[in-house]
Amino acid sequence: MGTNIEYLLSLRAIRERAAIVGDAAEAGQLNHFDLHGDRMDDVADYVTSVIKRDFGPDKFDSIPPHGRWQHFEVGNVPRIAHIMHNWKKDGCDDLETTRRLVDLFFVSVLLDAGAGDRWCYTEPGTDKKYERSEGIAVASLYMFNSLAFATDKDARGPLVDGNGLKQLKTNALEEGFQISDHNPMLGIESRADLLRSLGRSLLAHSDVFGDEGRPGNLVDQMVKSAHETSKLDIMIFWDILQSLLIPIWPKDRTTIGGHPIGDAWPLEVLQRQAGSSTPYGSDVESIQPFHKLTQWLTYSLMVPFQRILGLHWTNTESLTALAEYRNGGLFVDLGALSLKKEALERGLKASGGPLPLFEAGDDVIVEWRAMTLVLIDKLYSMILSRMGGVHLTMAQLLEAGTWKSGREIAAERRPETKSSPIVIQSDGTVF
């Protein structure tokens, strides 16, 4: 049983399981979608045009890796640079600056699930309104600066710590995110529960995060691991994050033998393909893992280590695309994937509106997410061939390409809501 669970929590399982779904798609054997491979050139052309528009002809090297940092800079305000400047005046060295950024990014990323189409955040002291991921980033930054996630409100201790998170009240999150009847956010109670659970897990992993359960203590652990090579290993980092995060997800998530496996879901097409596909046993064969928020956190936390401490990462190619609605919506909006008639009708019946609606664990959504991983891997090589010798990392492709393109095509097609072409009933902890 242990081997099965370790496999499903691993990075390699994400791609290996999705590859089986991709083979089924090529054979026309998906349950809920049809793959239109002839439209992939259109998708590649669209994404390449967005990248070249924003960074061509000679600024491709400046494309930042996909991560939370950019969201804090919405409105062209260098908020991170501002707080780093203030920290430096207070005597913070590079190590402590990196710890504090990890504190901030940790909380902000785990709050960054779908907010819905109606919520926005008005930045204090301005009339600027921000929605979705950027709005959540700015709101979380103001809460962080107000010590909302700290035990010691006089800032003598860490700015985020286990007890501060464990004791977080839902109404404090509602207030920090300016939530009201007129400004609702999906899954606010679930988000608060997630942070409280994170606090408990940080305290339970004192070997890495210290007796105070500070996320930023991860910096010291990783710097120690890189002592001889001056390089950080994604695999070590991943195992630490999964050990911390798997216990915090909602209790109704998928389990195997009573053991939670996080953002990993049964998928009918894998059950049908089961047999010789994997050596790990029948429990595993029907499960598609994604671990989207753990990967989003990994991408985000990598950046301060690189920018502040000048440390480099190995095994980054093991990370995948993020199986979320912007990346996935791109392929639906541009016609590379289409819902089969039965699934479409069921989704429209559930929504009562113009767009199909499904719960996050619905087989339709799990299949869509798996195909998102498959198609972005395919798209990656197609785009590189269009870039005239310019190399982009997967993290750069996600940042300047697929995620941005998914958002832009959604705004073109649905300007009033800018929503995904398929709507997910978010619980505040998946997307």
Nearest to 264 by CA among 228, 289, 284, 292: 289
Rounded to an integer, what distance in angstroms lies between the CA atom of residue 268 and that of residue 328?
Answer: 19
Cβ–Cβ under 8 Å, residues 176 and 147:
no
Residues 6+ apart with CB under 8 A from 383: 44, 47, 48, 51, 392, 397, 401
Integer angstrom CA distances of residue 229 from 225, 232, 262, 377: 9, 8, 32, 30
DSSP H or E stretch at residue 141 = helix 132-145
End-to-end alpha-carbon separation of the chain, Å? 28
**pTM reported for the whole predicted model:** 0.94
**Joined tokens for residue 154:** 């006089």
**Joined tokens for residue 357:** 């609606």
Asked whether the CA dihedral 96, 100, 103, 105 is positive or negative, the reply is: negative
**Consecutive sets of 10 residues in the chain, 431 residues long: mean pLDDT of each?**
84 96 97 98 98 95 94 96 95 97 96 86 96 95 97 84 97 97 92 96 98 98 87 96 94 87 95 64 82 94 96 96 96 98 98 95 97 98 96 96 97 94 81 55
Phi and psi torsions of 51, nearest 5°: -65, -45
DSSP secondary structure code for residue 278 in this structure: -
**Joined tokens for residue 100:** 């504090």
DSSP secondary structure code for residue 64 in this structure: P
Cβ–Cβ under 8 Å, residues 379 and 299:
no
Rounded to an integer, what distance in angstroms lies between the CA atom of residue 322 and that of residue 67?
Answer: 11
Rounded to an integer, what distance in angstroms lies between the CA atom of residue 265 and that of residue 284?
Answer: 10
Rounded to an integer, what distance in angstroms lies between the CA atom of residue 406 and that of residue 331?
Answer: 8
266, β-bridge pairs: 287
Rounded to an integer, what distance in angstroms lies between the CA atom of residue 387 and that of residue 56?
Answer: 10
Integer angstrom CA distances of residue 257 from 40, 262, 283, 284: 40, 14, 9, 11
183, β-bridge pairs: 180
Cβ–Cβ under 8 Å, residues 302 and 393:
no
SS3 at position 7? helix
Cβ–Cβ under 8 Å, residues 305 and 311:
yes
Residues 6+ apart with CB under 8 A from 140: 104, 107, 108, 111, 176
Q: Which residue's entry shows tokens 């767009």?
A: 355
125-168 per-position pLDDT tens digit: 999 999 999 999 999 999 999 999 999 887 777 899 999 999 99
